[in-house]
Amino acid sequence: MKQFYFAKRKLQLVPAAIILLGLTISTKISAQTITTFDAPGAGTGPFQGTSALDIDPSGRTIGFFRDANNVRHGFSRSKNGTFTIFDAPGAGTAAGQGTRAYATNSSGSITGHFTDSANTAHGYVRSNEGVITVFDAPGAGTGAGQGTFPFNSPNLINPEGAITGYYVDSAGAWHGFLRDKNGVITTFDAPGAGTGVGQGTQSFAITPGGDVTGFYFDATSAVHGFLRDANGLITTFDLPGGGTGPFEGTYGGGFTPNGSILGVLIDANFVNHGFLLNKDGTVTTFDAPDAGTGFDQGTLPWGINTNRAITGWYVDNAYVSHGFVRDNNGVLTEFDVPGAGTGPFQGTTVYNIAPNGAVAGYYLDSNNVFHGFVREPAGQ
């Protein structure tokens, strides 16, 4: 089901964008350099702090932070440590509201969503000049927890500025969207997607050519992957080993340079495994050596670079998270950021990898405070 619309756009210059230097600490460990940082204004209480979510070829990182009032604000951090803080026009200022930045492209544009004072989500794109354009997918609901979500992936925007994501309608169902570089929004549903609350289609990544991948929840809330090509043809897929119960199955999540699909497979025991689905249909699954094998443990790949190196994190048997990088030969290296907590649900979470192998993410310390980091490979 394809529908074409012109986006409702609001062009506004962000008033008083803030350029600051944050706290930065560098540590060299085993032929790697890890730099940790906190955005200016980030809170220091439990589940406050800084989350870095993408890194571009220049070493610039983007993400958001939660302040002392639990309001979110977007940031961009240059490789030399200079921060630019921004808020989307219309972003709410109460706890749980505000601006989230998830993805950037080589042109310096940033996308994500913000939550307004009614707790409705709206998409936005911020140009490298600081101009923020707000958009809403046609059919998006206007109630709390509804709206338009470019969400939780470093692969939401391509070099041309096309953006993918999903929206939640007034009945609580999810639908995919693609917003092209001119602001035209196409909405779509994967065949077989459920129509109940918390069911439907979530787009998660886009290629330079406009192919989109993601996943959908069917009427039983089982999960299936999909690929939507640039012409709008949708192919669905399920990988061997995926569970068939609610929230189990195949989660399409990203693309390699040659069009293979990266993602997470959740088995019948609700254990996470990484996968690569090649264009010829062959599948490679992988697990970090120390990944746990219990419920909601395992390996979660999240980002891939132009050299086919993959990054992400794994959850061990004690529910502690650790980072990993898997090179294009399949060699997987595990790591922890100094200062990361070692208790359940603490540790290191990695979101994306630059062409030179630098990765960005965040860690949760022993006090449950978030901090951003960049890990540079040897020789950088």
> For residue range 98-121, what is the model confidence (pLDDT) as tens digits?
999 999 999 999 999 999 999 999
Angle at the Cα of 80 from the Cα atoms of 75 and 82, rounded to 5 degrees: 35
Q: What percent of the chain has pLDDT over 90?
A: 88
> For residue range 37-55, what is the model confidence (pLDDT) as tens digits?
999 999 999 999 999 999 9
Rounded to an integer, the average pLDDT of 277-294 is 95
The reported pLDDT for the residue numbered 5 is 22
The reported pLDDT for the residue numbered 92 is 98
The reported pLDDT for the residue numbered 32 is 73
d(CA 106, CA 125): 14
Structure-block tokens of residue 122: 């709206």
Longest dimension (CA), the chain: 52
State yes or no: pLDDT of 217 exceeds 50: yes
The reported pLDDT for the residue numbered 20 is 46
State yes or no: pLDDT of 24 exceeds 90: no
Least confident range from 11-20, 271-280, 316-325: namely 11-20
Residue 14 in contact with residue 87, Cβ under 8 Å?
A: yes
> For residue range 140-169, what is the model confidence (pLDDT) as tens digits?
999 999 999 999 999 999 999 999 999 999
> For residue range 223-246, what is the model confidence (pLDDT) as tens digits?
999 999 999 999 999 999 999 999
The reported pLDDT for the residue numbered 44 is 98
The reported pLDDT for the residue numbered 257 is 80
The reported pLDDT for the residue numbered 380 is 52
Residue-wise DSSP of 51-106: EEEEE-TTS-EEEEEE-TTS-EEEEEE-TTSEEEEE--TT---STT-EEEEEEE-T
CA-nearest of 232, 150, 146 to 197 is 146
d(CA 140, CA 122): 9
d(CA 166, CA 177): 5
> For residue range 170-206, what is the model confidence (pLDDT) as tens digits?
999 999 999 999 999 999 999 999 999 999 999 999 9
